[in-house]
Chains A and B, each alone.
Chain A
Amino acid sequence: MIRALPSRDEILAILDDVKDPEIPVVSVVELGIVRDVGVTADGVVVTITPTYSGCPAMREIEADIASALADHGIAPVEIRTTYSPAWTTDWISRDARDKLEAYGIAPPGPAEPSELVSLTRRTPSLRCPYCQSLATERKSEFGSTACKAIWFCRSCRQPFEQFKPL
């Protein structure tokens, strides 16, 4: 099939349908994983960045991006990975934050300033995504995936996850 070169916006719209494999309510664009899209006569280049160095979903995300574009007849596609600047939760869009909360994952607050690590920092309480109570406590800074922490709501007695600020 021969078709006109797709525009950058057209590609971004397609990629907005590629969901994060671990959190299928938000897209790789909304999460800030897609950093750049380039269109040349030779094909399309999509640049992505991992959330965490060891994120095991990266290969799957690459495959999902390639197949979504292929479904729209867009080829060849080159996927590049960049590590700089380092991904931050501050790139997650407003919309995506609402979707995360509706899905039961508390969205991240602002990323920490890059100062010396405070070992005594008090954790501000987080709003429970199920009952909106602020009577919550952090159980662990590490959760079911690298990007999440485990919390517990004392009001509705429900454990929940937080997309942790990074």
Chain B
Amino acid sequence: MSTPALVPYLLRLGDDRLVLGHRLSEWCGHGPILEEDIAITNIALDLIGEAALLLKLAGEEEGQGRDEDALAYFRDAVDYRNALMVELPKGDFGFTIVRQFLFSAYSVLQMEALQRSKLEALGGIAAKALKESRYHLRHSAQWVITLGDGTEESHDRAQRAVDELWRYTGELFAADEVDREMAAIGMGVDPSTLAEPWQAQVGEVVLRAGLTVPTHEYMQQGGRVGRHTEHLGHMLAEMQIVARSHPGAKW
């Protein structure tokens, strides 16, 4: 059983993780302390690993002979389907941690649902990603509390990150026909059903961190249909330059 929604759906899942993984990898050698440098790059490795599996599956389902590398390195920004939140520049440590927390809380809920996907290959990837996402969530949630409940400086930076990122959270839960079709045939999950448990979990941590969530209603979106911020093109230029300059190179 196949549906035209399948490949776009898998690209969304894979691209979220590939782009966020790349943003995290930019911390390599720049972490505030050694343990965090290692932690952030470990999380990057998990996300890029998950992305490789998801994009490989997307390529197989597409049936045009594209593998995970072709999809990662030879698509332009307009063909990427990640949510806008993950492509924003890495910012300071507070921004990176708050984003990781917001995304990991989402990813845990998403993967919990997807491990029961009727598409067996997706279910297997999700069961694995779920275990990894739990580690990411615990790590980032503890840091959100540490920063929010820390010094005036760390609190202000964490609050600024929450204020800046909040308008990108709506897109994670906005369902369109691709999501609804995938949910209807039991292969995917309708993201709008994840919003409530996500808000409960995020709200609890934000409260303990002494932070506040903005009340504005306006939410940015566009990433799921290829309308991205200016930042993604710059990021991809760096990520893709070697593969595009030396196609097929091996090392």
Q: Indicate if the CB atoms of B138 and A87 lie closer than 8 Å.
A: no
Is A166 in contact with chain B by the CB < 8 A criterion?
Answer: yes
With known contacts A84-B124, A85-B127, A117-B108, A52–B38 Cβ distance under 8 A: no
Describe A's contact surface by its main secondary structure: loop
- Per the bound structure, the CA–CA distance linking A83 and B129 in Å amounts to 10
Which residues of B sit under 8 angstroms from A117, Cβ to Cβ? Answer: 108, 134, 137-138
Chain B interface size band reads: 35 or more
Q: Indicate if the CB atoms of A139 and B35 lie closer than 8 Å.
A: yes
Q: Indicate if the CB atoms of B138 and A53 lie closer than 8 Å.
A: no
- Per the bound structure, the CA–CA distance linking A141 and B42 in Å amounts to 10
Describe B's contact surface by its main secondary structure: helix
With known contacts A112-B134, A142-B35, A142-B42, A54–B125 Cβ distance under 8 A: no
Which residues of A sit under 8 angstroms from B205, Cβ to Cβ? Answer: 119
B 121-164 binary contact with A (CB < 8 Å = 1; else 0) = 10111011111101101110110000000000000000000000
Is B48 in contact with chain A by the CB < 8 A criterion?
Answer: yes
- Per the bound structure, the CA–CA distance linking A141 and B142 in Å amounts to 11
Q: Indicate if the CB atoms of A146 and B42 lie closer than 8 Å.
A: yes
Q: Indicate if the CB atoms of B128 and A86 lie closer than 8 Å.
A: yes
- Per the bound structure, the CA–CA distance linking A82 and B45 in Å amounts to 19
With known contacts A85-B127, A86-B127, A117-B138, A144–B47 Cβ distance under 8 A: no
- Per the bound structure, the CA–CA distance linking A146 and B135 in Å amounts to 11
Q: Indicate if the CB atoms of B39 and A141 lie closer than 8 Å.
A: yes
Q: Indicate if the CB atoms of A140 and B50 lie closer than 8 Å.
A: no
With known contacts A52-B132, A53-B50, A86-B124, A140–B39 Cβ distance under 8 A: yes
Is A150 in contact with chain B by the CB < 8 A criterion?
Answer: yes
Chain A interface size band reads: 20 to 34
Query: What residue of chain B has the Cβ atom nearest to residue A166's Cβ?
Result: B131
Q: Which of B33-60 contact A (CB under 8 A)?
A: 35-36, 38-39, 42-43, 45-50, 52-53
- Per the bound structure, the CA–CA distance linking A52 and B46 in Å amounts to 7
Closest beta carbon of chain A to B211's beta carbon, Å: 15
Closest beta carbon of chain A to B115's beta carbon, Å: 8
Closest beta carbon of chain B to A158's beta carbon, Å: 16
With known contacts A55-B49, A83-B53, A142–B43 Cβ distance under 8 A: yes
User: What is the interface of chain A, defined by CB distance below 8 A to chain B?
Assistant: 50, 52-56, 82-88, 112, 114, 116-119, 121, 139-144, 146, 150, 164, 166
Enumerate 25 A-B pairs (CB-CB under 8 Å) in ascending A order.
Answer: A50-B49, A52-B46, A53-B46, A53-B49, A53-B125, A54-B48, A54-B50, A54-B52, A83-B53, A83-B121, A83-B125, A83-B128, A84-B124, A117-B108, A119-B137, A121-B138, A140-B39, A141-B39, A142-B35, A142-B42, A142-B43, A144-B38, A146-B42, A150-B38, A166-B131
User: What is the interface of chain B, defined by CB distance below 8 A to chain A?
Assistant: 35-36, 38-39, 42-43, 45-50, 52-53, 108, 120-121, 123-125, 127-132, 134-135, 137-139, 141-142, 201, 204-205
